[in-house]
């Protein structure tokens, strides 16, 4: 089920990035006391009362001026508002209401989205009286908070949670493989959907951003049921939108969360850029099965080394996804498109595979015998046993004498041995270390 989405919106320099960090319990956002430091949307995941949510930190909205960065920041904020289930409108208690705040308020009124008004920099009880003027903005009770001191964050999240949409049961059965196509604009995702389906089901254009909404397309092939989730593109509202590629990330996140298998589509003609790595990283972090689909391979000038060289480039750029298979295709000519679904079937099966505990421990025991755990300050890691705790993605708990003795390099060694024994092609693996009860 998709997480509810909170967008933090406000004029520059009201402390949005600090609150974002508080809401996700991490320091992902750049925090600097200078307007315009947060130039792109940032995304994080937090939890409140056992309910996970996504948070978007936007660049500040600057409503006047022709500066390209400021206009781009406004666009990013508008796109975040469009994706959000609830908006946190942040203002500054010390500055009071500014004309820019009033203009942001008008923008939010037009969005018709639930808005929670947060008054930042209320650092102590003496400043509580400073929140009352903000009632005039028309968003109900202002919530006093302090990002620097962590005051009022619980109250803010509680107010947001009131507007979280109810969980909806997934409309597709367990037997259906849900496939999400993700990738930056103009890599040919919609053309690829049509090629897989063998019919024109999705609008195709050479312009980036013609897919306006996430489109679910159920179909069946050789007795297996699928749903293809084609991630949405931007709503074109002027030239500035055409210059921004990050618009697709939140919709890609929504599609990734619903998917069993993610097709990471790369433009073979243009090669790999940083945004490809960002988007693929979301699929990896979400624990989804993944396949790299290199599209437009028909227009790539090739010799007998091109395929190997491009494969190596992907492996070098995506070291964290070495498990993901590659398929080189052309949506335009349908070259090798018929190879995609068999690979989808394979990685979906691996993603859901469960290993019996006794068989797993035989492999772990052999691995330990071959390469005993190293010592740390005279102490050696002792692995008592391992068991698989979940699937999608496969996750394994290792019960040990001291979890701190599990070095990441030895954890990677164990993962490699598990993959060598059982496959797990196309799926990330999670390994957790737990202290064995009563073990000192």
CA–CA gap between residue 61 and residue 298 (Å, rounded): 43
Q: How many residues does the chain have?
A: 440
Report the binding-site residues for GTP.
Answer: 10-17, 57-61, 120-123, 183-190, 230-234, 295-298
φ, ψ (nearest 5 deg) of residue 349: -65, -45
The SS3 call for residue 394 is coil
CA–CA gap between residue 265 and residue 267 (Å, rounded): 7
CA angle 364, 367, 369 (to 5 degrees): 110
φ, ψ (nearest 5 deg) of residue 149: -105, -5
Report yes or no: 272 and 313 within 8 Å, Cβ to Cβ.
yes
The SS3 call for residue 156 is helix
β-pair partners for 398: 386, 433
Report yes or no: 45 and 20 within 8 Å, Cβ to Cβ.
no
β-pair partners for 90: 118
CA angle 83, 84, 90 (to 5 degrees): 130
CA–CA gap between residue 176 and residue 26 (Å, rounded): 36
Location of structure tokens 């091109």: 306
Q: How many CB atoms are located within 10 Å of the residue 424 CB?
A: 21
CA angle 194, 177, 83 (to 5 degrees): 70
Report the binding-site residues.
Answer: 10-17, 57-61, 120-123, 183-190, 230-234, 295-298
- In a 10 Å sphere around its CB, with 0-12 CB exposed, 13-18 middle and 19+ buried, how is residue 339 labelled? middle
CA–CA gap between residue 360 and residue 31 (Å, rounded): 45
Q: 42-48 and 51-57 as β-strands: parallel, antiparallel, unpaired?
A: antiparallel
**Encoded tokens for 214:** 């996430």
Secondary structure tally for the chain: helices H, strands E: 12, 17
Q: How many CB atoms are located within 10 Å of the residue 154 CB?
A: 12
Report yes or no: 247 and 227 within 8 Å, Cβ to Cβ.
no
């Amino acid at each position: 089920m998709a997480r509810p989405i909170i967008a933090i919106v406000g004029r520059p320099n009201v402390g949005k990035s600090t609150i974002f960090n508080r809401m996700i319990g991490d320091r992902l956002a750049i925090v600097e006391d200078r307007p315009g430091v947060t130039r792109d949307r940032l995304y994080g995941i937090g939890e409140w009362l056992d309910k996970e949510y996504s948070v978007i930190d936007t660049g500040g909205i600057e409503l006047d001026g022709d500066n390209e960065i400021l206009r781009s920041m406004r666009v990013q904020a508008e796109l975040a508002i469009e994706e959000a289930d609830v908006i946190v409108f942040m203002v500054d208690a010390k500055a009071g209401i500014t004309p820019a705040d009033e203009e942001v308020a008008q923008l939010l009124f037009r969005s018709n989205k639930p808005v929670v008004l947060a008054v930042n920099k209320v650092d102590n009880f003496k400043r509580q009286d400073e929140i009352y003027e903000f009632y005039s903005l028309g968003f109900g009770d202002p919530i006093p908070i302090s990002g620097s001191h962590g005051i009022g964050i619980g109250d803010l999240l509680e107010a947001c949670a009131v507007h979280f949409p109810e969980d909806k049961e997934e409309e597709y059965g367990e037997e259906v493989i849900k496939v999400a196509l993700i990738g930056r604009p103009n890599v040919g995702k919609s053309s690829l959907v049509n090629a897989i389906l063998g019919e024109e089901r999705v609008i195709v254009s050479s312009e980036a951003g013609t897919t306006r909404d996430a489109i679910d397309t159920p179909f069946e092939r050789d007795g297996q049921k699928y749903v293809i989730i084609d991630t949405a593109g931007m709503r074109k509202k002027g030239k500035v939108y055409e210059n921004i590629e990050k618009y697709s990330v939140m919709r890609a996140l929504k599609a990734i969360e619903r998917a069993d298998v993610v097709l990471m589509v790369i433009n073979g003609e243009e090669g790999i850029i940083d945004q490809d790595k960002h988007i693929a990283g979301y699929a990896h972090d979400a624990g989804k099965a993944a396949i790299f689909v290199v599209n437009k391979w028909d227009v790539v000038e090739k010799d007998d080394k091109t395929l190997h060289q491009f494969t190596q480039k992907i492996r070098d750029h995506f070291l964290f996804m070495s498990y993901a298979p590659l398929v080189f295709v052309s949506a335009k000519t349908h070259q090798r498109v018929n190879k995609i679904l068999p690979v989808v079937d394979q990685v979906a099966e691996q993603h859901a595979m469960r290993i019996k505990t006794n068989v797993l421990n035989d492999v772990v025991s052999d691995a330990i015998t071959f390469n005993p755990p190293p010592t740390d300050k005279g102490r050696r890691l002792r692995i008592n046993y391992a068991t698989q705790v979940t699937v999608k993605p496969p996750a394994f708990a290792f019960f040990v004498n001291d979890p701190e003795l599990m070095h990441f390099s030895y954890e990677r060694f164990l993962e490699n041995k598990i993959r060598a024994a059982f496959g797990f092609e196309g799926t990330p693996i999670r390994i957790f270390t737990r202290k064995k009860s009563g073990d000192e």
